[in-house]
Chains A and B, each alone.
Chain A
Amino acid sequence: MFLQIKDITKKFGKQTALNNVSAEIEKGEFVCILGPSGCGKTTLLRTIAGLELPTSGQIFIDGKDSTYLHPAKRNFGIVFQSYALFPNMTIVGNIMFGLQQKKKSMTKQEMENKALDVLRMVDLYDHRNKYPRQLSGGMQQRTALARAIALSPAFLLLDEPLSALDAKVRHKLRTEIRSIQQSLKITAIMVTHDQEEALTMADKIIVMNNSVVEQIGAPREVYDKPVNPFVANFIGTMNFLQRSGQTRAIRPEQIEIVDHRDEHDVTVRIKHIEFKGVLTRIHAFLPNQTTMIYLDVPSEQIDDLQLNENGMLFLRLPQEHLIDYPQGAA
């Protein structure tokens, strides 16, 4: 185990930003901290970096208690949402600034080669002599990434690195960050509030809400077996049904449309058909007329189904995809 976060609590005055948070991170893993705004993601990241000190609890890096270790001694690289590039230095200057300090053993030539290497890695070699403000947002973010990895840190911390970028650039950078992380085999911890980002990039997701950790697991695991309704709802969409004294949940895409009704199937009335691209989402009422159920159908099948609003539909909820929660949990 590379990094252990143990019972961390962090208070700002009366406000608790982290409440008894524990997590373990393996070497080389890409971990996403996911959660709604204000739930404590940034605080957790900054605590790992040593930029904030926990009110109680411990942090072990490589097995050593590093709770009070100075940030400079933790050997990490960090990328902020605001990039925090030094505007008075060129792109290569930004990267050299850190190198000059940390790698005292290197000659100037070696340092420069190193800087140019990382710039090639993020595809900014041609822009090395520009100033940050002359670059687009995506390029600035790649510069920040290059600066963070130039010192060959033991781990990389990223605080919503992509949220200030537009969708296209964001998707491209996701892949880039991931592939750089894998080729360097570096441990990375990234904060995000975008569930899709977490699902596509992470080896492991830490889902947080209201200063506590709700669930830790691989993307598949968190998606297929959310431990509670919060996680279920925060990642993707989930239908909750009250049945025989239990709350049962199922994802919209797991629901099947059937021609003939079995005893376990349900009849619903279609309220609205929403085209969403590859999938089409059907909003329908359960017989009780108040609970809404969503199901996703591949759009190409929609025409064959000949659905219309207010029409009836038989649905099958496959047993293997149903998740049970205690009653009233949703």
Chain B
Amino acid sequence: MDMLSRLKRKLAGMSISQGITLLIFVTVLTVTMVLPLIQMLRMAFLGEGGVFVGLENYRRYFGNPLLARSIRNTIDISFWTTIISTTLGFFYAYGLTRSNIKFKTFFRYTALIPIFIPTVVHALGLIYLFGRQGILTRAFNLDIEIYGRLGIIMAEVIFTFPQAFLMFLVALKFTDGRLYEAADAMGIPAWKKMFFITLPEIKYTVVNVLFVCFTLAFTDFGAPKVLGGQFNVLATDIYQQVVGQFNMNMGAVVGTLLLVPAFASFIADRVISSKNAGTLSAKATTLVIKKSYARDGFFYVFCTAITASLLLLVGALFVGAFAYFYPFNMAFTLRHFDFPQAQGGINAFYNSLLMAGLTAVLGTIFVFVYAYLMEKVNGFGGIQRYGKLLGILPLAVPGMVIGLSFIFFFNSQANPLHFIFGTIIILVLANVISFFSVPFLTISACLKKLDKEYESVGDSMSIPRWKTFLRVSVPLSLPAILESSMYFFVNAMVTVSAMVFLVSPRFNIAAVAITQMEENGRPSQAAAMALLIFGINISVRILYEVSVKLIQFKLRKRETTNGN
């Protein structure tokens, strides 16, 4: 075959416009994610004045007993958080799927409360409950040292519990009832069923949950920032090195350390999801839950205890936000909603709304088109494989690292994109990238389910691809689109870790303002701001649930009623 016809063949196989779009999208993600990461990795090996020093920075870091201790601290709190959250999450999900307790919907939604507030606020709530003047401290004369190790572990458990619970919920919901029926027929006792059927069935989820909890606790910034005291962890170290001492290279060193468990978790997840695909046979029967008062009684107590703790936490925020001067003057007031100007006042909240809104809209559009290009365009095998990998890579990059690498990359005068530094653009960008993967996977899965011949039919009718895209693929993916927007919005409202490096005094955001107000001894105002975030996130979630119900209702009507 001669060159010309080979080229012709190649070009004919690809639509040029789709190819260019694909290239643009992959390039954008590369420039905004991969290049900053590379920049951060480079910084870890550079010394004063940008000379290459090899592992010198690492040697200095590990040689400093104070800093080296942070690693031990971080592993310590992550370890205990993982154990506790995994256990609690498992039993909570088990109670909701394998027992006959009532109010399951209520239990399910209250377990999600921590997702709707920043991690600093989990810590803040704990201070209101267990601090020196804490509600519980005073009521029961407790003496719990909330500042330090114990407090951080408690806050991280609150933070990671919903994630563990949700993962177990999915795993336990889909099970093959026939296994249990067979076991019953053989007279196998309950504890044996647990160890020989239930746990083996969800073993991959268990591993995943362990990794996720560990990574989340390992990389969280909010809770240790508020509760740390003398107890340093890696995430607060980075902040001190970079913001406190302007030691960028040391910051980069700590950043690379944060990547370690995140990458391990990422690889574990990839391995597991390749093994775990479609194990449930079509013949599986749903599980019939037997009667057991003892079991149900246990789960009533257990689930109520957890729910009560979470409600107590939110309750404490209400007390903090609305009491005139806790604990001395408990009169109702709205004065704490008058936020200090140094933190941007109420504008910090409006800024957050704007940022989260833009993240939700732009992020979802970008991810949707990106996933579409990966799933539905033919003939770009290599770029598409790279693009898909890029799409899930953010799972392995903690927010702290994204924030840090963004400073290194965009704050350099040589970068033509320098102008976005200090503006809302970089905040939105950091959020879209931090939370890219989950929407990407959701939307990809949804697009995969659409008939791959829609595009062929469209082609045969001379309908341009963009029109098939807008009129068919987008409307059919509406639930996934809504879910992704909500995910982006809620996360952008609560995230602190990437943001602390990127907000400017002129453009502060609510979650960061809460941290600062707490630091400056204004917990009531921090609590008030937390309630605003909580309120808006709950509203968005409700809006989402209602929209999905409406769509489902409309579809069902279409399928059951007579269209005449």
Contact = CB atoms under 8 A, between A and B. Distances in A.
A102 B462 contact: yes
Given A127-B563, A131-B563, A134-B558, A88 B462 contact: no
B453 A133 contact: no
Contacts of B451: 80, 82, 84
B460 A84 contact: no
Nearest to A46: B456
Interface string A41-54: 00000100111010
A84 B450 CA distance: 9
A47 to B, nearest CB: 12
A166 B471 CA distance: 32
Most A CB contacts (10 A, CB to CB) among B456, B461, B462, B563 go to B461
Contacts of B170: none
Interface in B524-564: 558-559, 561-564
B463 A68 contact: no
Given A53-B13, A68-B9, A134 B559 contact: yes
A84 B454 contact: yes
Contacts of A51: 456, 459
Contact of B463 (A78, A80, A101, A130): A101
Nearest to A148: B460
Given A53-B12, A71-B460, A131-B558, A84 B563 contact: no
Most B CB contacts (10 A, CB to CB) among A70, A86, A127 go to A86
Interface in B232-273: none
Interface string A110-151: 000000000000000011011101100000000000011001
B274 to A, nearest CB: 21
A130 B461 contact: no
A139 to B, nearest CB: 12
Contacts of A90: 563
A56 interface: yes
A102 B471 CA distance: 16
Interface in B437-457: 451, 453-454, 456-457
Given A51-B459, A82-B451, A97 B563 contact: no
A264 B463 CA distance: 66
A77 B454 CA distance: 13
Contacts of B453: 80, 82, 84
Contacts of A70: 12, 459
Interface residues of A, number: 38
A236 interface: no
A86 B467 CA distance: 13
Contacts of B9: 53, 68
A74 to B, nearest CB: 8
Given A72-B459, A82-B453, A133 B558 contact: yes
B1 A86 contact: no
Most A CB contacts (10 A, CB to CB) among B454, B456, B463, B471 go to B456
B345 to A, nearest CB: 46
Given A72-B462, A129-B563, A88 B456 contact: no
A87 interface: yes
Nearest to B467: A101
A98 interface: yes
A161 to B, nearest CB: 12
A64 B464 CA distance: 24
Contacts of A130: 562-564
Contacts of B463: 72, 97-98, 101
B457 A80 contact: yes
B476 interface: yes
Contact of A151 (B8, B461, B476): B461
B404 to A, nearest CB: 42
Contacts of A50: 459
A73 B463 CA distance: 11
Contacts of B460: 49, 71-72, 76-78, 148, 153, 157
B382 interface: no
A66 to B, nearest CB: 11
Nearest to A144: B457
Interface in A86-100: 86-90, 97-98
29 contacts: A50-B459, A53-B9, A68-B9, A71-B460, A72-B462, A77-B460, A78-B460, A80-B451, A80-B453, A84-B451, A84-B454, A86-B471, A87-B476, A88-B476, A89-B471, A90-B563, A98-B463, A101-B462, A101-B464, A101-B467, A102-B461, A127-B563, A130-B563, A130-B564, A134-B561, A134-B563, A148-B460, A151-B461, A153-B460
Interface of B: 1, 8-9, 12-13, 451, 453-454, 456-457, 459-464, 467, 471-472, 475-476, 558-559, 561-564
The 8 closest A-B CB pairs, nearest first, are: A130-B563, A98-B461, A68-B12, A84-B453, A72-B462, A71-B459, A78-B460, A131-B558
Given A90-B563, A134-B558, 16 more contacts: A49-B460, A51-B459, A56-B1, A68-B8, A71-B456, A71-B460, A72-B462, A86-B454, A86-B472, A97-B461, A97-B463, A98-B461, A101-B464, A131-B558, A131-B559, A134-B563
